[in-house]
Every structure is written in structure tokens, then in C-alpha cells.
Amino acid sequence: MLRTLASLALATLVAPLSAQVADGDLLVPRFDVGVAAIEQYDAHGTLLVDHGPGSDFSGATVTDAGLVATLSRYPTEVHFFDASGTEVGSFSSTQGAGAPGDLDRLSDGTLVAADQSGDVDLYAPDGTWLGHLFDNQMIHPTGLFVTPQDEVWVADIDLFTSPGRLHRFDGQGNLLQIVSLGFSPGDLVVDADGTLWVTDRFNALVVHLDAQGAPLSSFATQALGRLYGIALHRDDTLSVVGENDVAVHRYAKDGTWLSSFPLASTAGLRNYLCVQRDAGTPTFCYGDGTGSICPCANLGAPGQGCAHSGGVGGRLGGFGRASLTNDGLLFDAGPLPPNQPALLFAGTATLNGGAGLLFGDGLRCVGGAVVRLGVRTSDAAGRALWRPGLLGGHGWSAGQSVHVQAWYRDPHGSPCGSGFNLTNATSVALAP
């Protein structure tokens, strides 16, 4: 089954994820005969790499080795591309019937491929077919989404009647749920709260459903042609692309249009979107007992800062491209006390060897030449976001590493009585 195992194995060794697709990058497959490609854009809509060429590329995902994987229809294959966009391996996905749909992967690296002939196929990265997901109501699966818990949601259309359905399976292939819809779904994403964002392919709508499939809201989009592709970004915005689109459109969850960026090529059709999420920038200085002891034994959970009034600690991470000239790095902190100010700051040194020093109800981990990067107010769930655009203008240079931490107020029930606390810290290696 495998055509180029040797080259694929080599690429696995030389293509680390950090060099391939950064957190927040968007993959847009181009479905076209002979000139298909997977277009890779950064968070600003700048084309980074054209992975291809090939023929009739459908869905896309990123492997553990940092390779971009996609499905092709003619011939029916899975293809792998390295950071430069060069194909480094492929295998015949002969279990499909010549009509591939979307592509995703489980946490163990298993590739999950929608087969529009009526099921979802599972492949090991070496091309071994592992089985399929199927139930007797599945007709024409197109889009799919794998949750962090390895649950597989499948968007299933009926070619003969307008309404479709959603199917949910666990990682072992057991059917958990079927949701009947009043519209034909193109693709879907699952939010952190378990709710669903589903594209209505005939009406160019994004429909928000609760976890049981009951409608919550919907909004119209600018998509051209049938609407399939949808992606959920880390900052809680949604991107969509229509089959005949010349741009990718970004919306707030309430349907407010935020921006659009033009596609590099107007050839072919656009069916699916994939936004990359990774572990983010390296973190350190935890209040979980692995470093300095928290001021009043107020330990947080692993990976968090010292506990605040909510009984948990705040965790800070950086996600995206840390470029001084094209900054795409987003900082995400939570859970913090809700509706409280949080200050993000950066420094050129770590304190106490990175273990931190007692400060308020927490640990201060960052020192040296310190700059403030901005104040945000946490939302009702205790989350605070600092969007890209904070790295320039501080006298930092490419190749330098800086360290970032968030200080926040905790005025009601502060465990040590100081009224403030801090998250863990994270280190950022600056690129040009």
C-alpha cells in the first residue's frame, strides 16, 4: 500500500512541528485537477507555503512529525509535504471509493479520513488501514472534527434530500450520538464548551448548536458557492470559506464580520479549512510544588501558577509566530478571577533560576529589563487574551529570548491576603 515509505520516514526525522506549521496558521486545500495545493497562511493572511502540486486535494491536517497531510481524489491517496511544500511521501487510501472528504487525526497520530461513499476510514501514518467508523444512517460524510478527547464528529449530507445529520464516535469507534438537522451540513468544529459550529452549505450560514444538537443561533456569511470550510481560532473567532470563494472570511461568534483576506489562487474549489493548534511556547515557574513553594501553601494544579480565590492557579501560554516584523503571537491566560485586570509583562531574565520568588499570593518569575505589554480584563470565565502585535518596539532583537508572565488582581478571598497573584511564565524565542 505504501509507495514511498523510506522518504516518509526520513521526513519524519527532519521536519519538526515547530519548523512546519505554527499555531494559528491556516491550511486551505485547493481542489483542482493537476494544480491542486494546500495553501498555508499565517494569522495575518500572508501566504507562507504552497504545498503541492497535486490533483484534487481535499481536507488537510498536520502530523506529529510536522508534515502537512492531505487527501487526493485522482488517484485516491494520502500525501505528505514538508516545510518547504515538497511532497515527501504518499500511500494509496484504497479503502476510499474515490470521493475523499475532510481529514483530521487522533492524539496517537491515527489519520481520520472522511470517505464520501459512506464511512470514515482510519489509517496509521505508514498507510495501514485500521478500520472505519460507520453506522447505518451514515450516507455521505464530508466534514469532520476530532476533539481533544479523541471524539470524532462527522458532518453527513443526504444527496437526495436537503437535511443532513451529525454523527459522534469515541476513539474506539463506538457510536455515541446522531443529531438530525434541518439543513445540509458542510463541515463543523467543536468549541471548548462542547457546543458545535456547523456550516449550512446551501444557505451560506454558520449555525451554532448545543451539545445535544439544539439550535442556539446562526449568522449569514459572505461565502460564495456552497459553504463547507470552517475553522475555530484560539481567540474564539471563526473563519469560513465557500466552494467558489476568492477569500477567507473571519467572524466573531455573534456573526460580526471582522476581516477577509484574498486567496493566493482563484483556481479550483475550496471545501475545508484546518487551523493548527500546538502546545505553544515553553512554560516554566509553576505554583504546583515543582519549584518555589507558594506563599501560603496555596498550590495550583500542574502547570499553573499558585492558587487564587477560585481554588486554582492561572496558566499562561503563548501561541503563534513570534516574529518581530510580522508578529502573530497570542498570549492566553486563565482561569483567573473573573472580571479582574491582568497585566502582561516581559523581561530579559528569570528569577531564582526560573523557580520564582515569593510575590503577593504567587511567584514572580521574570526580571531583568522589564517592559509592560498591556492590561486586559478577564472575562466571566476568567480568561484574558493579548492578541498579536506586542513584540515590536522594545529594543529586542532576533535570536533573543524574552520571558513573559501575567500579574492579576484577586480582591475577593485572596488565599494569602495580598489581593493579587501571578500566572506561571513562558519563554519566547524571537524571530526576525
pLDDT digits (tens, 9 = 90+) for 114-127: 998 889 999 999 99
- Tell me the fold of 5-275: Neuraminidase (2.120.10)
Q: Which residues contact 342 (CB under 8 A, 6 or more apart)?
A: 333, 336, 375, 376, 377, 378, 384, 406, 407, 408, 409
Q: What count of Cα atoms within 13 Å lies in the side-chain half-sphere of residue 117?
A: 11
* Type of residue at 181: L
pLDDT of amino acid 53 = 85
Alpha carbon 60 to its chain centroid, in Å, reads 13
Q: Angle CA(172)–CA(178)–CA(181) in degrees, nearest 5?
A: 145
* 349 closest CA partner among 281, 425, 271: 425
Measured CA to CA, the distance from residue 67 to residue 85 in angstroms comes to 9
Q: Which residues contact 380 (CB under 8 A, 6 or more apart)?
A: 338, 339
pLDDT of amino acid 95 = 67
Measured CA to CA, the distance from residue 52 to residue 36 in angstroms comes to 7
Q: Can you list the residues of the chain whose pLDDT is less than 70?
A: 1-19, 94-98, 160-162
* 328 closest CA partner among 83, 16, 25: 25
* 25 closest CA partner among 321, 283, 347: 321
pLDDT of amino acid 318 = 96
Q: Are 313 and 294 in contact (CB under 8 A)?
A: no
The DSSP result for 304-343, as a single string, is: S-SB-TTSSB-EEEEES--BSSS---EEEEES--TT-EEE
pLDDT of amino acid 31 = 87
Measured CA to CA, the distance from residue 30 to residue 431 in angstroms comes to 29
pLDDT of amino acid 282 = 95
pLDDT of amino acid 98 = 62
pLDDT of amino acid 278 = 83
Instruction: Please list the residues that pair with 51 across neighbouring strands.
Output: 38
Q: What count of Cα atoms within 13 Å lies in the side-chain half-sphere of residue 419?
A: 1
pLDDT of amino acid 78 = 92
Measured CA to CA, the distance from residue 122 to residue 109 in angstroms comes to 10
pLDDT of amino acid 187 = 96
pLDDT of amino acid 56 = 86
Q: Cis omega (within 30 of 0) on the bond before 75?
A: yes
Would you call 214 exposed, middle or buried from its count of C-beta atoms within 10 A (0-12, 13-18, 19+)? Answer: exposed
Q: Region of 426 please: left (phi>0), alpha (psi -120 to 50) or beta.
A: beta
Report domain extents, the chain: 5-275, 283-429
Instruction: Find where cell 499565517 sits.
Output: 42
pLDDT of amino acid 3 = 28
pLDDT of amino acid 161 = 65
Q: Region of 419 please: left (phi>0), alpha (psi -120 to 50) or beta.
A: left
Coarse DSSP helix, strand, coil percentages of the chain, rounded to the nearest 5 percent: 5, 45, 50
pLDDT of amino acid 96 = 56
* 49 closest CA partner among 77, 31, 26: 26
